[in-house]
Amino acid sequence: MRKTGRMRNWPFAKGHGTHNDFVIINDRHGMYDPDSADVRFLCDRHGGIGGDGVLRVVRARYVKDWDGDPDLWFMDYRNADGSIAEMCGNGVRVFARYLVEEGLAMGESLPIATRAGLRTARFVHQDQVAVEMGPVVVRDAGVKVELAGERWPALSVDVGNPHAVVEVSDLSTLDFYFAPTWFPSEAFPEGVNVEFVRSVGPGHIAMRVFERGVGETQSCGTGTVAAAAAAAQRDGTGITHWRVDVPGGTVRVDLRPDGSTLTGPAVIVARGEVFLPNQFD
């Protein structure tokens, strides 16, 4: 049985990229490593700080199964429900911003380790950060997505994490009271981020997203890359530069045969100390 004892105090920061918001925990010496209950507490918008996820800032040497440079900063990303995710495009921009503002890294280009591999962030201008997101794989795997009794065909997109991208004519009528489901269910055994996309014009789309482990968010960085890649395949005109509007703002996605780049804002809005319940068996 899980009980609650004395409180623990951790320093934290809060940041967001197009209103996809994160609690940032500086764990440079590998001393904290929040468990799923800690993450749920931190992301609780009523009893904790509130966020779509937690960014744990830690040296790669402290991360199990990382076999690359042990001195890199590792973005240990957790969804709001406590589950571990491979990658977060908005999160890695916020992560890079935090490293520089805290004096943990210097320069215009920063290598950042993630569970989806190495990502490089560049500071472009003002609050804008560009991240090399790696290759994008789009497949028509016969997947269908259902929401509120309506069903659409979806493209399966891999951006280091899984996405199902649906094209719709109206984003405003989508009802996210219940989570979308997909068929066949075995297409995404670990869950999937579902993007609903509307065409605005050439190289311009709007998007809403239901993130696995979170729910609807104001933005999803990897989701915008997935949505742009799916739109490019459906469009067939060879457009490689895409504007993607999300409820939290606008980002730019650049697609190449060998990779992709996501550019958008990243800001740190608060720093402080949080008191977590000390949980033990």
220 is catalytic: yes
pLDDT tens track for 98-137: 999 999 999 889 999 999 999 999 999 888 999 999 999 9
CATH (one of 3.30.1160.10, 3.40.50.1370, 3.20.20.80, 3.10.310.10) for 137-257:
3.10.310.10
Give the mean pLDDT of the chain.
Answer: 94
The answer to whether 3-133+266-280 and 137-257 have equal CATH topology is: yes
Q: Is 222 within any annotated ligand binding site?
A: yes
- On the CB side of 154, CA atoms within 13 Å amount to 32
Class of domain 3-133+266-280: alpha beta
Q: Where are the domains of the chain?
A: 3-133+266-280, 137-257
CB contact at 8 A, 135 and 260? yes
Q: Is 139 within any annotated ligand binding site?
A: no
Give the model's pLDDT for residue 4: 47
Selected catalytic residue, list 42, 131, 220, 230 = 220
**Furthest-apart CA pair in the chain: how many Å?**
60
pLDDT tens track for 71-105: 999 999 999 999 999 999 999 999 999 999 999 99
Residue 25 tokens read as 């925990």
Which residue from 168, 98, 93 is spatially nearest to 128, judged by alpha carbons?
Answer: 93
Backbone phi, psi, residue 274, to 5°: -115, 140
Give the model's pLDDT for residue 29: 87
pTM of the predicted protein model: 0.92
215-217 and 73-79 strand pairing: unpaired
Q: Is 9 within any annotated ligand binding site?
A: no
- How far is Cα 36 from Cα 85, in angstroms, rounded to an integer? 12
- How far is Cα 16 from Cα 93, in angstroms, rounded to an integer? 9
Statement: residue 249 has pLDDT above 80: yes
pLDDT tens track for 257-268: 999 999 999 999
- Quick check: helix, strand or coil at residue 102? coil
